Chains A and B, each alone.
Chain A
Amino acid sequence: MAVLNEEQSMLRDAAKSWTQEKSPVTAFRKMRDSGVDIGYDAKAWNEMAEMGWAGVIIPEEYGGSAFGYLSMGLILEELGRTLTASPLIASGVGAASALALGGSDAQKSEWLPKIADGSVVGALAVDEGAHHAPEKVALAATKSGAGYSLSGTKTFVIEGLAANLLVVSARTSGAPGDKDGITLFLVPADAKGVSRKRLALADSRGAANITFDKVEVGADAILGAADKGWEVLEKTLDRVRAALAAEMLGAANQAFETTLDYLKVRVQFGQVIGSFQALQHRAAKMFTDLELARSAVEAALQAIDADSPDVPELVSLSKAKMGDVFHLVSNEMVQMHGGIGMTDAHDSGFYLKRARAAEAAFGSQSYHRDRYARINGY
C-alpha cells in the first residue's frame, strides 16, 4: 500500500467501511439475481455519489474534489474487493477525464457538475469489434448543415445502457486504423437515432451495443478538435485502464484472501489443506505476484497524478501485469476451493467471471504487452 496522505487515508477508510456494510458480495449477488438491466444497483450508486466519489478527479470549480487518480484508485480497490458494480469508472473516470482533458469551458460547465453529483452517468463509446482497438474507428461523422451526422455501431460500451451521456469516437477523415481523423463527440443518449441493445455478459455488469443511425449533432458537440481526437482519447483511455486495474487489484486481493481463509479451515486427510506444501507454494506465488501488481498499479496512478510523460507505458505495464495476476488468482480460487468453487452458491465464480471481463476491457494483457513494447521502440 502506497504511503497515503490524510485525505487519502480517510477516503480509503470510508470506502472500506461502506463496501463492507452496504455493499458486500451478497449485494452483488442480489443485483445479479434481480436481473436489473443496467447492471448495478441505482440506490447504491446514489449513496456513492452522495459521498462525493463520482467527483474525485473532477476540478473543484466544476463540483468535484480534485483528489486525483490515486485517491480514485483507493476507492475502486475497495469496491473491487466486494465486486461492487457501479458506473464509477465509466462516468467518474471515463467521461469525467475526457471532459476535463478535452472539453470546452461550456462543455465542462454543462456536464462535469452533473457527473460529479451522479445525476448524469457518462460512458465511453469507443470499440467496434470483439477486441479493444481504439484506433479502428469506422463509425462515420459526416458534415451535415452546421453540424455532423453520425452513423455506425459501437460495441461493448461499458454502462452503455445506463448512460445519459456518451463520449463517442467517430471518423471524420482517413480510414479505420488511422489515429488522425478521429473526432470525439458528446452525444446525449436520448438523441434521435441512438438505439441501445443490452448485452448480458458473464460478469453481470452493465454493457450495451449502441447503434447510431444518422444522429444529428451540432459542431459544439465536438470534444476537442475535429480530426484530432486521438490524443484526448488515448489519455482518457489510460486513465480508465489505470482505474480498472485498481478495481482488479482489490478484487484479486479479496479472491486470494477468501481462498487463503479456506485453506486454513478445509480439512482433508485429517489436516487443514493449507498445511500441504503443494498449495502453500502456489499461495506464496500468488502473494508475490499480488505485491508486484500492487506496485505497478499504484505507480501508474501516481504517474497520472504527477502528469508524468511515462503514463502510457506505466499504464500498459500495470494493466498487463494486473490482468495476468487476476487471471491466475481467479483460476486458483476455483481450483483450491474444489467442488464448492464450482457452485453458483459460492463467490468464486463471480471473481472468475469478473476477472475475464476486466481483463478484456480496455485492452487485454496481449494488447498492453504489445503497446508497452511499441512505446519502448521494439
Chain B
Amino acid sequence: MADFGGGDPEAFRKEVREWVEANFPAELKGRPNPMMREERAKPSEAQEAWRKAVGSKGWGTPTWPKQYGGGGLSSAEARVIQQEFGRAGAYNPIGGMGVMMFGPTLLEYGTEDQKLEHIPLICRGDVQWCQGFSEPGAGSDLAALQTRAEDKGDHFLINGQKIWTSGAQYADWCFCLVRTDTSKKHEGISFVLFSMHQPGVEVRPIKLIAGSSPFCETFFTDARAEKKNLVGPLNGGWTIAKRLLQHERGGLSGAGGGGGMGGRSLVDLAREYVGVDDQGRIADPDLRTRVVQHEIEGRSFQQTAVRAMLESKGNSGPSAATSIMKNAGTSWMQLRHELTLEIMGHQGLGWEGDAFKPEELGAVRGWLGGKAFTIYGGSQEVQSNIISKRILGLPDLTQHN
C-alpha cells in the first residue's frame, strides 16, 4: 500500500520513536488512560504534559486533516504511532466522545467555521464532549425525544432532560439532539452544540449496579445554544444522528473478540479455580464444554472482523458482515463476564475488602458493568430490528410517521 505517500516508513518510525522517548513522562509508563477514569477531573502534571505534547503534534487524531489540528497522516502512519506508543507503554491521551463520535461526524457534516472552531480543541484534548441523545422517554425509540429548542433569533433556548449522558460531569461541551418541530417525528429533530458550563445546565451522576457513575442525568433549563452551532439544516438532525451512531457502534463492537478485556483467558482461570483432571482437561466437563463453545465463538468473531475488513477493501461496497458485529461482539463479552464469575465461584462475588484479589473484585464489577453492553448504543433488540429491516428486507413496523 502506498500509504506513506512516498515517504520512508522506517524513517517515520524512527522519528516517532525518538519523539516518544523525548516526550513521554516515565512515571506514566504502563498506566491506563485517565480519560476513561474518574481521575480525569484532576489530572497530574505529567498527564497534562503528555496530553499537550501529543495534542500539539496532532498525533492523538493522526488521520484527521492537518488544517483542523489533526496529524494529516495515512492509516499506515497512524498504525506506526500506535505501535510505537504501545512499545513505550504510553497511552493515547486524546480520546473520548469528541474523538470517537463527534469529531468524525462534524468533519463530515459541519461547516468550515464549525470545523475550525471545534475540531482543533478536540485534537489537543482541550475540550471534552458529551452526547445528549437518550431521554427518559426516548431510549430505543430515540426519535421520540422531547427536549425542546426554541428559536430566539441568534440563539436557541433549550429545555428538557437527557439521560445516560456518559461523562457529562467532566464534559465541557455537549452535542445534543433537540426537537425544533413538534408536528413531525424524525423530521423535527435538530443537532446542536452548546457549552456545559452555563447556568441552565445541571448534571446529576447516576450510580449504577456496579457501584460507579459513568453516566448522568442532565437537565436543561433555558440553556443557550448559539445559532452558529446548529450542525446541518434545521430539522435535519436525524440523518446526522444516525451517522454518528454508526461511529458509536463501530467503536463498541470493537470491544468484542478478546481485544478489550485484557486479563487472563477463561481457560487459565478455569485451571486455577476449577482444576484439571488427569488428562489436563478442565475438571468440570459441563463448564469445559461451555468454555470451548465460548472460545470458538470468540475466534469466529475475530475471523469475521478480519473478513469484513478484507472484504471492504477487496470487494465493492461494505461487507454485510459488519452489520452483525455489535450484537455478536457484545453478547460474547457479556458471556465472558458471566463465565468468569462462575469459574471463580464464591471468590468471584466479592464486593470489596482484602479477602478478595483485585482480579476477583474486578470480575464482579465487570460482570455488572457489562450488562450495559447489550443496552447502550442501540440495544440488542434494536440491532436485530436493523438487521431484519436493512439487511434481510423484512417489513418495518416500528416506523409510524
Instruction: Say yes or no: B300 contacts A373, CB within 8 Å.
Output: no
Q: Is B397 an interface residue (CB 8 A)?
A: yes
Is B371 located at the chain interface by the 8 A CB criterion? no
A295 on the B face (CB < 8 A): yes
Asked if residues A376 and B327 are in contact (CB atoms below 8 Å), the reply is: no
Please tell me if the beta carbons of B395 and A275 are within 8 angstroms of each other in the complex.
yes
* A285 pairs with B384, CB closer than 8 A: yes
CB-CB contacts of A268-304 with B at 8 A, as 1s and 0s?
A: 0001101101001101110110011111101100000
A288 & B328 in contact (Cβ 8 Å cutoff): yes
Q: How far is the CA of A378 from the CA of B280 in the complex (A)?
A: 6
Q: A264-B393, A296-B303 are in contact. Are A280 and B384 (CB under 8 A)?
A: yes
Q: Is the CB of A292 within 8 A of B304?
A: yes
- Among B292, B299, B381, which residue has its beta carbon within 8 angstroms of that of A296? B299
Q: Is B394 a contact partner of A275 (Cβ separation < 8 A)?
A: yes
Q: Of B267, B300, B313, B327, which is in contact with the most chain A CB atoms at under 10 Å from its CB? A: B300
The residue in B288, B306, B394 that gathers the most chain A C-beta atoms within 10 A of its C-beta is B394
A146 within 8 A of B: no
B310 at the A/B interface (Cβ < 8 Å)?
A: yes
Name B267's closest neighbour in chain A (CB-CB).
A378
Bound together, the chains give a CA A272 to CA B395 distance in angstroms of 8
| Complex alpha-carbon distance, A294 and B292, angstroms | 19
Please tell me which stretch of B111-119, B234-242, B314-322 contacts chain A, meaning at least 4 of its Cβ atoms lie within 8 angstroms of it.
B314-322
How far is A281 from B392 in the complex, measured between Cα atoms in Å? 11
CB distance from A363 to the nearest CB of B (A): 14
CA distance A374 to B292 in the complex (A): 10
Instruction: Give the contacting residue for A321; candidates B281, B300, B306, B314; CB below 8 A.
Output: B300
Q: A275-B395, A281-B381, A283-B394 are in contact. Are A292 and B271 (CB under 8 A)?
A: no
Q: Does A3 sit within 8 A of B, measured CB to CB? A: yes
Within 8 A of B (CB), among A1-49: 1-3
Question: Is B295's CB within 8 Å of the partner chain A?
Answer: yes
Is there an interface contact between B388 and A378, defined as CB atoms closer than 8 Å? no
A3 and B315 contact, Cβ closer than 8 Å, known pairs A288-B324, A292-B304, A369-B296: yes
A93 in contact (CB, < 8 A): no
Are A287 and B300 in contact, with the CB atoms below 8 A? no
Q: Provided the pairs A1-B315, A369-B293 are in contact, do residues A274 and B394 lie with their beta carbons within 8 angstroms?
A: yes
Residues of B within 8 A of A320 (CB): 296
Mark B354-382 against chain A: 1 for CB-CB distance below 8 A, else 0. Answer: 00000000000000000000000000010
User: Quick one: closest A residue to B271, CB to CB?
Assistant: A378
Residues of chain A contacted by B270 (CB below 8 angstroms): 378
Contact B320 A373 (CB under 8 A): no
Taking a contact as CB atoms under 8 Å apart, the answer to whether B304 and A280 are in contact is: no
For B37-68 the 0/1 string (1 means CB < 8 A from A) is 00000000000000000000000000000000
Please state if B394 and A264 are interface contacts (CB–CB under 8 Å): yes
Interface residues of B in 246-298 (CB under 8 A from A): 267, 270-271, 276, 280-282, 288-289, 291-293, 295-297
When distances are taken between beta carbons in the complex, the residues of chain B under 8 Å from A271 are: 395
Alpha-carbon gap, A373 to B393, bound state (A): 39
Q: Which of A288-328 contact B (CB under 8 A)?
A: 288, 291-296, 298-299, 317, 320-321
A263 at the interface (CB under 8 A from B): yes
Question: How near does chain B come to A257, taking the closest CB pair, in angstroms?
Answer: 10
Residues on the A chain within 8 Å of B320, using CB: 291
Taking CB atoms, residues of chain A closer than 8 Å to B385 are: 277, 280-281, 284
CA distance A213 to B306 in the complex (A): 52
Cβ–Cβ < 8 Å partners of B267 in chain A: 376-378
Assess the A295–B296 pair: CB atoms within 8 A.
Answer: no
CB distance from A166 to the nearest CB of B (A): 33
Whether B304 contacts A287 by the Cβ 8 Å rule is no
Once the chains are docked, how many angstroms separate the CA of A142 from the CA of B270? 46
Q: A317–B280 contact, CB under 8 A? A: no
- How distant is B398 from chain A, measured CB to nearest CB, in Å? 8
Q: Chain B binding site: helix, strand, loop or mixed by DSSP?
A: helix
A281 with B388, Cβ < 8 A, contacts A3-B310, A3-B311, A378-B288 known: yes
B324 pairs with A275, CB closer than 8 A: no
- Is B296 in contact with A281, judged by CB distance below 8 angstroms? no
Is the pair B392, A378 in contact by a Cβ cutoff of 8 Å? no
In chain B, what residue has the closest Cβ to A296?
B300
Please, which residues of chain A bring their CB within 8 A of the CB of B303? 292, 295-296, 298-299
Asked whether, in the complex, the Cβ of B296 is within 8 Å of the Cβ of A321, the reply is: yes
Say whether B384 contacts A378, CB under 8 Å.
Answer: no
User: Residue A101 at the B interface, CB < 8 A?
Assistant: no
Known: A373-B292, A378-B281. A292 touches B392 (CB 8 A): no
Q: A275-B395, A281-B384 are in contact. Are A291 and B324 (CB under 8 A)?
A: yes
Indicate whether A372 reaches chain B with its CB closer than 8 angstroms.
Answer: yes
The 8 Å CB contact of A373, one of B281, B310, B383, is B281
B301 beta carbon closer than 8 Å to chain A: yes
Q: How far is the CB of B392 from chain A (nearest CB, A)?
A: 6
A260 in contact (CB, < 8 A): yes
Q: Does B307 contact A (CB under 8 A)?
A: yes
**A317 to B395, alpha carbons, bound, how many Å?**
35
Q: Is B210 an interface residue (CB 8 A)?
A: no
Q: Is the CB of B388 within 8 A of A295?
A: no
User: A171 CA to B60 CA in the complex, in Å?
Assistant: 64
Q: How far is the CA of A378 from the CA of B288 in the complex (A)?
A: 8
Within 8 Å by CB of A372, from B292, B301, B314, lies B292
Q: Closest CB of chain A to B179's CB: distance in Å?
A: 27
A3 to B314, CA, bound (A): 6
Q: Are A283 and B388 in contact (CB under 8 A)?
A: yes
Residues of B within 8 A of A369 (CB): 289, 292-293, 296
What CA separation (Å) do A283 and B383 show in the bound complex? 12
Q: Tell me if B391 is interfacial: C-beta within 8 Å of chain A.
A: yes
- Rounded to whole angstroms, the CA-CA distance of A283 and B387 in the bound complex is 9
Chain A residues closer than 8 Å to B304, beta-carbon distance: 291-292, 294-295
Contacts of A296 in B (CB 8 A): 296, 299-300, 303
Give the Cβ gap from A40 to chain B, nearest Cβ, in Å. 31
Partner of B301, one of A280, A292, A366: A292
A274 CB to closest chain B CB (Å) equals 4
Q: For the complex, what is the distance from the CA of A321 to the CA of B395, rounded to whole Å? A: 30
Instruction: With both chains docked as a complex, state the minimum distance between the C-beta of A95 and any C-beta of chain B, in angstroms.
Output: 29
8 A-B pairs whose Cβ atoms sit less than 8 Å apart in the complex: A284-B383, A292-B303, A294-B307, A295-B321, A321-B297, A366-B289, A372-B295, A378-B280
The 6 A-B pairs of least Cβ separation, nearest first, read A3-B314, A295-B303, A280-B388, A284-B387, A284-B384, A295-B304
Extra 19 A-B pairs, beta carbons < 8 Å, given A3-B315, A274-B394: A1-B315, A2-B307, A2-B310, A260-B393, A277-B388, A280-B384, A280-B385, A280-B388, A281-B384, A283-B387, A283-B392, A284-B385, A288-B324, A292-B324, A295-B304, A295-B306, A320-B296, A369-B292, A378-B267
